[in-house]
Structure 1
Amino acid sequence: MAMALITKRAVDAAKAADADYFIFDDACGKPTGGIEVVKGFMLKVTPKGKKVYFYQYRLARAGTADKTPMRRITLGKHGDLTPDEARERAKELAAMVAQGIDPRQRELDAIAAADAEKAAAEARARLEGELVFEKVAARWLEEYELDHRPTSVGQAKVSINKYLVPKLRGKPMPHITKADLQAAFDKIPAKQKATRQQVFAYASILWRWALERGDIQDNPVPSMAKPKALKARDRVLGDDELVSIWRATVTLREPLGAFYRLLMLTGQRREEVAGMTWAQVDRAAAAWIIPADKAKNKVQHIVPLAPGVVEELDRLALARQVKAKVNKPDPKQWPQTGPVISIRGKLPISCFSQAKTALDAEVAKVRQNIEPITPWRVHDLRRTLATGLQRLGIRFEVTEAVLNHVSGARSGVAGIYQRYDWRDEKQSALVAWAQHVQGILRPAEQSNVVALDRGKVVAA
């Protein structure tokens, strides 16, 4: 251990050795020239000639004669600091030690405080940036869109963007309270029960997703009063109403008329019929295969095509060929690509509200001299077909298969082991239904359809 008054001359004179060594600040009995010796101030010299200033100290333990273990604080490199600057810094630290303050701990506390302040600033920035409600909701919608049907995605976007974003915009999602969310729900008119129920359902999915990701620590939705469930609809259209609707489709702009006639004859869901593509239908096999990713229940569904449905598709195929100016149009040559029901030929129809309004106007014309039809929805056509099949004596399992319902006889354990697809029975059932519809359209003609006990239908 070397001792010397640490001055520029002494530092410059210090030479590298085989190992690190320290020079402690000490006058060694010589005049200091007014320089104050600082106990614990030292210079370290490395074998490579690097020189670093340190301050070393021990702190008295409160209420005892003991002291803490020796601690050493780096003041800085020679060159970055002059000996005088390093000495002044050592004097400041020595004054703190004399007051019982641990410089090293203060330094650590300062670092911790800076880290905490930085973390708080980053947290604030995240809250005010990526965690504001509209941004979290947008990320959720992007992910939701990847594995859900277009209809469900559309409903989710309307529920979030129309009813929640305007009320919660700019609010950090972790700070949105039950009261905030309730206030947003309360803005939806009480008479719009279906809307309230839908918005609540999508809000529940969104908040659960955010909780699972760690974006929020608390989910207020489960503690809220869930909107009362709507009464299940049981509207079934009568034969005279079906006749009026069918006749109205004849005067409706095409392909909208064909769209509604296909809904009546197949009983499939609105989005499935609207999304039908030519690649999904086969004229020779008289079948329409709805892929699993296009079916509501994610189960591939084969829909046998009754002759009346084939005729509708023939007309649509012919119209497309005529529009494309094909030399010799042939309705039996169905296209291989593109949507079946399309206004401009590139995208499937999606103007459901406008189409229904137009249809209702045509129905009113058809029934101008008789009692108007009680308000009805497109889904009622599907329920009417199901009820009609039961009236025709079709087995319940076959009706479920026609509708592609994974419920009743096709659910649970029975559904796992029941792999029979009822194709022949479905075909007979849909042919019988199409004949029934044609029969009520021509009441003067006598129907020659006979329903059998096992759901098979044959001509008498």
Structure 2
Amino acid sequence: MARLTDTRVAALKPPAVGQAEYPDDLVTGLRLRIGAGGRKAWIVRTRAGTKVLNKTLGTYPTLGVGKAREEARRFLEDLATTGTPRVNRTFGQLAEDWLDKVAKPNNRSWQLQKRRLEIHVLPKWGDRKLDTIRRADVRELIESIEGEVSPNRNLTLIRTLLRYAVSRDWIESSPAEAIAKPKIENPRDRVLEMDEVRRVYVGADLLGYPAGGFIKMLLLTAQRRTEVAEMRWDQIDLDAGVWVIPSESAKSGRPHLVPLSALAVRLLRSVPRLGDYVWTSDGNSPISGFAKLKQRLDAFLAASGGALQPWVLHDLRRTAATHMVRLGVTETIVGRVLNHAVQGITARVYALHSYAPEKREALDRWAADVHREMEGCSPLSISGSAHPR
């Protein structure tokens, strides 16, 4: 038969019934299988002792002819050398194995590492075969991560996992080793003016659910991006107006009580309940893809009145904190709202409910100021009273 090429494979028609197979003349055992439905799959058929093995390598055109031959040769070489074909694991399988066998037994902060993977890495690489990850892929992923310390920490985490994969002989070398750490920036001091806050808050509506509500909740609560992303309905009491971030979700490692303003409660009552997470696209996992989300928002803002000066999502937290100080809230109380580290045994033990009334007053003042900027109306009434500007 004629040699298999990408052009010829693309032109092959499916059989009327059953399956048809086309052997490759360069790699013994490699075959293209075409089903009646039109699916074209690469398989390797060979013997291991008395058993006949049929290994599916992938589908065409995702796996082209040249790549299929490389995969087939690697499979056959591993089988000849060790007697056991290598399992080409995905990054998601690597992460699961590493978390179970290394992180959980040895690292008290493994849940934070798991969350970083779920937020930043697995949405892009969860189904990615380990041996297809290249240095450029690592660089692109790290550069897409927004924040002041997250890129470096995520690079370190990715390196750790890929080194583990090397130690298990799942890959021959790690593509993350030659990646330089992102330049450590000076601490950001970007604070959005209230006119910018208004534009972001209004523009968020154009994103729809869940992204629009997520952006608004970042502003109204001043909590960290990953904490708001993982907000769950069972953590919230809308009647009492409180959200308790559990210790495993809080960066500080301790539970944190966040009073919810009337504006925040109103927002939460307006969103659909699609699953355990408040902000979810599929009902099963928290919102992710923050870089694309912000790009969409920036495009809306640029089209509706001109682009904002450069900003990142983390700036919303700093913005809320700065304006709370402007509104007369002490830095100590703002620190409690932000869940910054507290000193002393008593402070740590009773941190959940300490300063709860003061934190509520601070977030209510901030919500009232946002409301005034949004609608140009009188201060938002909170619990029957208005806060001074």
- For the aligned pair, the TM-score class normalised by the smaller chain equals 0.5 to 0.7
Residue pair 2:210, 2:280 contacting (<8 A) in 1 also:
yes
Cα shift at 1:234 = 2.0
Does structure 1 retain, via aligned residues, the 8 Å contact 2:225–2:313? yes
What amino acid is aligned across from residue 361 of structure 1 in structure 2? A
Are positions 1:287 and 2:242 aligned together?
yes
Among 266, 269, 278, the alignment partner of 1:311 is 266
Q: Give SS of 2:111's match.
A: coil
Corresponding position of 2:327: 392
SS of the residue corresponding to residue 248 of structure 2 reads helix
- With over 3 angstroms needed to count, the CA separation of the structure-2 counterparts of 1:137 and 1:361, relative to structure 1, is closer
Q: For residues 48-93 of structure 1, give each alpha carbon's deviation from its aligned partner in whole angstroms, at most 9, with x where no partner exists.
A: xxxxxxxxxxxxxxxxxxxxxxxxxxxxxxxxxxxxxxxxxxxxxx
The answer as to whether partners of 2:116 and 2:154 remain within 8 angstroms in 1 is no
Equivalent residue for 1:67?
none
Q: Which amino acid aligns with 1:341?
A: W
Amino acid at match of 1:380: D
Give 3-state SS (helix, strand or coil) of 1:289's partner: strand
Q: Which amino acid aligns with 1:143?
A: W
- Residue 312 of structure 1: how far off its partner (Å): 0.8
The verdict on how the C-alpha distance between 1:444 and 1:424 changes in structure 2, with shifts beyond 3 A counting, is closer
Alpha-carbon separation, structure 2, partners of 1:275 and 1:250: 20
Q: Does 1:433 align with 2:388?
A: no
For 2:111, the aligned partner's letter is: H
- Rounded to whole Å, the distance in 2 between the matches of 1:458 and 1:257 is 26
Paired amino acid for 1:298: G
Q: Where do 1:328-407 residues align within 5 Å?
A: 338-343=276-281, 345-367=283-305, 371-406=306-341
Q: How does 1:165-244 map to 2 (within 5 A)?
A: 166=132, 184=135, 188=139, 192=143, 197-198=152-153, 200-202=155-157, 205-206=160-161, 228-244=183-199
Query: Structure 1 residues 342, 448: CA separation in 2 closer, same or farther (over 3 Å shift)?
Result: closer
Q: Is the 8 A contact 1:280 1:290 kept in 2?
A: yes
Q: Equivalents in 1 of 2:206, 2:136: separation in Å?
A: 42
List runs of 5+ in structure 1 lacking aligned partners. Answer: 1-123, 169-183, 216-220, 321-334, 450-456
Q: Which moved more, 1:280-289 or 1:254-263?
A: 254-263
Q: CA offset at residue 348 of structure 1? A: 3.5
* CA distance in structure 2 between the aligned counterparts of 1:313 and 1:435, rounded to whole angstroms: 17
Shift of 1:376: 1.8
Q: Which amino acid letter does the alignment assign opposite residue 436 of structure 1?
A: D
Change (3 A) 1:185 1:265: same
Residues 160 and 246 (structure 1 numbering): CA distance in 2 closer, same or farther, change over 3 Å?
closer
Structure 2 matches for 1:14-93, cutoff 5 A? none
Taking only the aligned residue pairs, the percentage that are identical comes to 30
SS at match of 2:323: helix
Alignment deviations for residues 268-295 of structure 1 (CA, whole Å, 9 cap, x no partner): 2223223222222112211111222222
- Cα pair 1:194 1:230 within 8 Å, conserved: no
Distance 2:244 2:269 in 1: 17
Q: How does 1:443-458 map to 2 (within 5 A)?
A: 443=376, 445=378, 458=387
Distance 1:414 1:395 in 2: 21
Distance in 2 (alpha carbons) for counterparts of 1:446 and 1:234? 28
Quick one: distance in 2 between partners of 1:348 and 1:186? 24
Aligned to 1:111: none
Change (3 A) 1:445 1:192: same
Compared with structure 1, are the counterparts of its residues 411 and 207 closer, same or farther at alpha carbon in structure 2 (3 Å cutoff)? farther
1:447 is displaced (CA, Å) by 8.5
1:173 aligns to what? Answer: none
Is there any run of 5+ residues in structure 2 with no aligned partner, and where? 1-80, 105-109, 171-175
Corresponding residue number in structure 2 for 1:278: 233
Secondary structure at the counterpart of residue 284 of structure 1: coil
What is the CA distance between 1:144 and its match in structure 2? 2.7
Per-residue displacement from partner, 1:421-447 (whole Å, max 9, x unpaired)? 211111111101000111222346478
Contact 2:214-2:228 at 8 Å conserved across structures:
yes
2:288 aligned partner, one-letter code:
S
CA RMSD of aligned residues (A): 4.8
Partner amino acid for 2:372? G
Superimposed CA distance per residue, residues 395-416 of structure 1 (whole angstroms, 9 cap, x where no aligned partner): 222212212222xxx1476854
The residue number in structure 1 matching 2:33 is: none
Is 1:421 the counterpart of 2:354? The answer is: yes
1:152 counterpart (116, 119, 126): 116
Distance 1:211 1:412, change over 3 A: farther
Distance between the aligned counterparts of 2:202 and 2:190, measured in 1? Answer: 20
Distance 2:231 2:191 in 1: 25
Cα deviations across residues 121-166 of structure 1 (Å, max 9, x unaligned)?
xxx969x979x9x799955653337632454124455699989855
Distance change (3 Å), C-alpha of 1:231 and 1:212: farther
**Structure 2 residue aligned with 1:78:** none
Where 1:428 maps in the other structure, the secondary structure is: helix
Q: Does 1:261 align with 2:199?
A: no
Alpha carbons of structure 1 residues 266 and 289: separation in structure 2 relative to 1, 3 Å: same
Quick one: distance in 2 between partners of 1:143 and 1:243?
44
Structure 1 Cα separation of the partners of residues 94 and 293 of structure 2:
32
Asked if the contact 1:270/1:378 (under 8 Å) is kept, the reply is yes
